[in-house]
A and B are shown apart, each in its own frame.
Chain A
Amino acid sequence: MIETLSARFQRALPGGVDFCSLRYSSERSESLVVRDDILQPVSLGEDAGVMLTVIHGGGLGYAATSDLSEEGIAEAIKRAQAWAERSAGRSVIDFEQIPPSHPQGSYQGPCAQAWDSTSLNDKIDLLQGLSKQLKISDKIVTWAAGLGVVWNDTFTLTNGGGRLEQSFTYIFPSLRAVANEGSETQKRTFGANAYCQQGGLEVLETLAFGESATQIATEALQLLDAPDCPTGAMDLLLGPDQMILQIHESIGHPIELDRILGDERNYAGTSFVTLDMFGTFQYGSELLNVSFDPTRPEQMASYGFDDEGAPATKEFVIEKGKLLRPLGGVTSQKRANIEGTANARACSWNRPPIDRMANLNVEPGESSFDDLVKGIERGVLMETNSSWSIDDSRNKFQFGCEIGRVIEDGAVKGVVKKPNYRGVSRDFWRNLKGVGDASTYKVMGTPNCGKGEPNQVIRVGHASPTCLFGDVEVFGGV
């Protein structure tokens, strides 16, 4: 495909424009779900198209099309050029200030065991088996096991000889069990669908997918009979499958440079972080170390280059609690005159790149899980995100989890249902008082992060150890 489209692009290139690029993206997918022991409709997807971008006279315009013919590409270039001319002198930045990028390189994500290395029937049998393990009681009223794959191939060509090729494989395992009695319904899932990674079917073994169903169903039943989560200010121990949400909403989004520059104020929101805070602001306690790391191969948003062509490197955005740099690609960096990260990303061929999170990880500390628990006189362990809400400046949040466990006098006690907590971002992270070691660390992801106008939903990675916070407002049901 790349040679065909390259030839068409070269022939369609207009003379006299400052910059022109073609970004191709193809996503193929297959999804299998067994719900209540019945295989749901099987779907195959193929989504491919190109985004043409023209910079001319200081303006930038784009045109996306699913017509990959030479005429289609030439027509899209004309439309992009027209938008560049219309926006010249009217834009948030004179795009001539940004040196044109003509990068060359390639990146191949991991995949040890190909999707087709096992038959369709074998995969359906696996899901049927897990489905039966989920149905352990009449009180389990609906249950499901699923497995999905996405193959994404991209390349970018520029009028200056730039040529980047990248390809990725993603695996999405899922389990859920819903228990009901009267008007009380409780649900447990396989990490709220956050156990997703790059790779092939080997990921399933890494994540112990095949061994998780019975525990999920058992816990859903336990929740039916559990008391509500206690209410009050207390210690809060968060498992990795809730930490990833906490990182995402109250660190990741607030330090996105396009939010700080105001681009998202009409939709996703602004940020309590301002440009003058980088290098000085104490975001959290000294235990907090956060990295932007697109180099960990198995994680959801690992790549070689972002969609503006910047090479991806690991960078610390918070070190010993101090805020160091924002998440912002080349365009945002130029607008704000600050160093950022290689995170200008588009969700597909039909959307332009904007600042996204990629992989944003809390680095492991030195405490074992037992050490963290032993330090708690009164608190709650919460796992698996079920609810998330935060203000448009990313300050006042309220998050809920599927399951809680009371901790008293250094020991984990019984299960509690409807665990929720609320707080303010900076106060919360400054109350970080324990960070789990590598044995508590899990690599996960957020498959559906929404942002941007026009809207974009993109895959983001997060990894985290179990973490302990002090003096958190915790509460349960009505």
Chain B
Amino acid sequence: MSVQTYFNELADHVTSLVSDEEVANLSFAAEDSDFVRFNQSKVRQAGSVQQRELGLDLIKGSKHCSGSLTLAGDSEQDRARVAKLVTDLRERRDLLPDDPHLLYATEPNSSELIKTGSLPSGGDAIGQIQEAGQDRDLVGIYAAGSIYSGFANTFGQRNWHQSENYNLDWSYYHGGDKATKSSYAGFEWDPAGLASKAERAASQLEALARPARKVERGDYRVYLTPAALREIMGMLSWGGFGLKSHKTKESPLIQMVEGDARLASSVTIRELTGEGIAPNFQEQGFLRPDAVTLIEGGAYKDCLISPRSAKEYGVETNGATAWESPESIDMAGGSLVEADVLKEIGTGIYVSNLWYLNWSDRSSCRTTGMTRFATFWVEGGEIVAPLNVMRFDETAYRVLGSNLVGLTAEREMILDAGSYGRRETSSARLPGALVNDFKFTL
């Protein structure tokens, strides 16, 4: 039995358990994943994870109670446990007050997306990755397999999202903290594709072998690769684009939302669900539009609105999750040509990756963080030396605003390698950014 059929049968079973006065929303997340961890081009830990998790919100009028359960994935075994969950939730729910902000989809809107892939066997994956690590110090994680998401309700709505993919996220270390970071992710595993990525990553090792340069604190012209810019976008996504954080005045973009602050006119940011790999439905059954424009021409436009926020603040939901954070963020490109980036830097710093960002002053959208991996000192449009790690402290209003020189025309699609709880399905498509007077503080 396919995982989709199993989930649909479970949903039918729950439908048979609820009364005419009740509504049930079911969300489902599962994976069959292989994980192989490498250090020094050797296997550190290798294994697989098979998990099935059901979320269930049991509603009667304006009262509801939700629960979650890990399941075997076998209908016979799981029916009794799901029935007990329904009983427990019903008992709990009846003790609770009405929820004035409860909102869920009532018009069935079913969908299905199944993306199959071609993945290597575990043995082949280890062999090919170790080959890429031969005579090099490779460290990282190979994750591959099927990821499943589903939604169902007692109105008959069924949504299914299934993807078979891989994500090799790795670094080549030259020594100490000098390394180059790379990833090979997608749906059709190709040994030649891996070898090509590996060669490109290894080509930076030569520059990392040069004596490292230290620079003093101060303001520098920098180029942020798409991977580095993704870290800054991650901070903006931490409350910057959600309606609730705007309404509760906790948004890091509060000076944009309520004041005159603006980003550069070349900055347009969208939640582009239609071109990402995340499901287009959420746990109350609402579908997401293909695109929500968050920042347009440097100005705040729309935000992500969960059903709960929609009810609380009297607006329409756009199918955001409870976190109201982008999952398929997309930033428009500019006119800089990637191949000319070193020339455009002139004298300054090429930043491959940023790391461990956090707020220095949230209300001012001011963040601190570190450079990491391959960061180079550039002079005369040429890489001169690797740079020792530096701490920065900057506001988005300068980096993507007054000090933004330009964005590259080329953009990179970055698939999230994260796996807290289960493998992520979020992604980011971003250009690189050339920035003046980027402030380093330590």
A, B from the same assembly: yes
**Residues of A bordering B, CB below 8 Å:** 38-39, 41-49, 59-69, 72, 76, 79-80, 82-83, 86-87, 90-92, 120-121, 124, 141-142, 178, 180, 182-185, 187, 261-263, 265-267, 269-270, 350-352, 386-393, 395-396, 398, 400, 418, 420, 422, 424, 450, 453-457, 477-478
Known interface pairs A49-B51, A389-B368; A418-B357 also in contact (CB < 8 Å): no
B370: CB under 8 A from chain A?
yes
A86 touching B64 by the CB < 8 A rule?
no
A49/B92 in contact, CB under 8 A: no
A422: which of B47, B372, B441 is its contact (CB, 8 Å)?
Answer: B441
- Residue on A with the closest CB to B52? A66
Interface pair B368/A91, CB less than 8 Å apart: no
B395 contacts A by Cβ under 8 Å: yes
Cβ contact within 8 Å between A47 and B68: yes
Is B71 in contact with chain A by the CB < 8 A criterion?
yes
* B333 sits at the interface (CB 8 A): no
Query: Contact at A386–B73, with CB atoms within 8 Å?
Result: no
For B72, give its contact among A44, A66, A393 (CB under 8 Å). Answer: A66
Whether A45 lies near B67 (C-beta < 8 A) is yes
**Segment at the interface with A among B38-46, B202-210, B341-349, B379-387:** B38-46
Residue among B43, B49, B51, B181 having the largest count of chain A Cβ atoms under 10 Å = B49
Residue of B nearest to A80 (CB): B47
A82 engages B72 (CB within 8 Å): no
Q: Is the CB of B95 within 8 A of A120?
A: yes
Given contacts A45-B67, A63-B48, contact A392 B372 (CB under 8 A): yes
Write 5 A-B pairs (CB below 8 A) sorted by A numbering. Answer: A39-B99, A46-B70, A120-B95, A265-B171, A389-B391
Contact A92 B43 (CB under 8 A): yes
Query: Which B residues lie within 8 Å of A184 (CB)?
Result: 363
- B389 adjacent to A396 (CB under 8 Å): yes
> A262-B139, A391-B372 are known contacts. Are A44 and B50 too (CB-CB below 8 A)?
no
A141-B249, A262-B139, A266-B169 known; A44 vs B254 contact (CB < 8 Å): no
Instruction: Report A-chain residues with C-beta under 8 Å of the C-beta of B364.
Output: 477-478
Chain B neighbourhood of A39, CB < 8 A: 96-97, 99
Contacts of A120 in B (CB 8 A): 92, 95-96
Contact A43:B68 (CB < 8 A) given known A86-B122, A141-B248, A455-B418 = yes
Question: Within 8 Å CB of A76, what residues of B?
Answer: 50
Contact partner, A92, options B39, B72, B259, Cβ 8 Å = B39
User: For B188, what are the chain A residues with a Cβ–Cβ distance below 8 Å?
Assistant: none
User: CA A90 – CA B37 in complex, angstroms?
Assistant: 12
| Number of residues of chain B lying within 8 A (CB) of chain A | 91
Contact of A185 among B71, B140, B249 (CB under 8 A): B249
State whether A90 and B372 are in contact (beta carbons under 8 Å apart), knowing that A62-B45, A389-B357 are contacts in the complex: no
Contact B250 A49 (CB under 8 A): no
Whether B123 is near chain A, meaning CB under 8 Å from some CB there, is: yes
A285 → chain B closest CB, angstroms: 22
Smallest CB separation, B80 vs chain A (Å): 13
- Is residue B366 within 8 Å, beta carbon to beta carbon, of the partner chain? yes
Closest beta carbon of chain B to A109's beta carbon, Å = 22
Contact A68 B72 (CB under 8 A): yes
B220 part of interface (Cβ distance < 8 Å): no
Q: What CA separation (Å) do A54 and B249 show in the bound complex?
A: 52
Chain A proximity of B245: nearest CB distance (Å):
10
**Shortest distance between the CB of B287 and any CB in chain A (Å):** 21
Verify if B187 is at the interface (C-beta below 8 Å from A): no
Within 8 A of A (CB), among B67-94: 67-74, 77, 85, 88-89, 92
- Closest B residue to A350 using CB positions: B49
Assembly CA distance A337 to B73 (angstroms): 43
**Which residues does chain B contribute within 8 Å of A187, judged by CB atoms?**
250
**Most A CB atoms within 10 A — which of B46, B95, B139, B395?**
B46
The reply to whether B45 and A60 form a contact with Cβ atoms under 8 Å apart is: yes
Q: Does B143 contact A (CB under 8 A)?
A: yes
Answer yes or no: B101 CB below 8 A from chain A CBs. Answer: yes
B385-405 CB mask vs A (1 if < 8 Å, else 0) is: 000010101010000000000
Cross-interface CB contact of A44 among B49, B66, B259, B358, cutoff 8 Å: B66
CA–CA, A141 to B85, complex, Å? Answer: 36
Q: Are B72 and A352 in contact (CB under 8 A)?
A: no
Residue in chain A with minimal CB distance to B261: A183
Judge whether A183 and B141 touch: CB under 8 Å: no
A393 and B372 CA atoms in complex are apart in Å by 10
Q: Chain A residues near B77 (CB, 8 Å)? A: 67, 69
When C-beta atoms are compared, the residue in chain A nearest to B254 turns out to be A183
* Minimal beta-carbon separation of B94 from chain A (angstroms): 10
CB atoms of A420 and B360 under 8 A apart:
yes
Given contacts A42-B66, A49-B70, A266-B181, contact A91 B43 (CB under 8 A): yes
Q: Are A400 and B360 in touch, CB under 8 angstroms? A: yes
Enumerate B172-193 residues with CB–CB distance to A below 8 Å.
173, 176-177, 179, 181
By the criterion CB–CB under 8 Å, are A44 and B92 in contact? yes
A265-B66 Cα distance, complex, nearest whole Å:
39
Instruction: Collect the chain A residues with CB atoms within 8 Å of residue B356's CB.
Output: 389-392
Chain B residues, Cβ within 8 Å of A82 = 122
Counting chain B CB atoms within 10 Å of each CB, which of A83, A182, A418 scores highest?
A: A83
| Contact pick for A91, options B44, B47, B421, B442, CB 8 Å | B44
Q: Does B255 contact A (CB under 8 A)?
A: yes
Give the complex CA separation of A387 and B36 in angstroms. 33
* B130 CB–A CB distance under 8 Å: yes
- The reply to whether A267 and B50 contact each other, CB–CB distance below 8 Å, is no
B339: min CB distance to chain A, Å? 28
Contact B171–A44 (Cβ < 8 Å): no
Taking the closest CB of chain B, its distance from the CB of A66, in whole angstroms, is: 4
* 5 A-B pairs closest in CB distance: A62-B47, A453-B141, A180-B249, A142-B248, A454-B419
Q: Is A66 a contact of B140 with CB atoms below 8 Å?
A: no
Asked if B126 is an interface residue, CB under 8 A from chain A, the answer is yes
**CB distance A43 to B52 under 8 Å?**
no
B319 within 8 A of A: no
Interface centre among A43, A183, A352 (most CB of B within 10 A): A183
| Contacts A83-B48, A86-B46, A185-B250 supplied; 20 other A-B pairs, CB < 8 Å | A39-B99, A41-B66, A44-B89, A45-B69, A59-B46, A60-B46, A63-B48, A65-B51, A72-B74, A83-B47, A87-B43, A90-B130, A141-B248, A178-B249, A183-B363, A352-B45, A391-B177, A453-B37, A454-B49, A478-B364
State how many angstroms separate the Cβ of A115 from the closest Cβ of chain B.
13
Task: From A43, A63, A388, A418, give the contact of B66 (CB < 8 A).
Answer: A43
Query: What is the bound-complex CA distance between A90 and B130, given in angstroms?
Result: 9
User: Shortest distance in angstroms between B55's beta carbon and chain A's nearest beta carbon?
Assistant: 9
Instruction: State which of A66, A90, A265, A391 has its C-beta within 8 Å of the C-beta of B42.
Output: A90
B155 at the binding interface (Cβ < 8 Å): no
CA distance A141 to B47 in the complex (A): 48
CA separation between A48 and B72, bound complex, in Å? 10
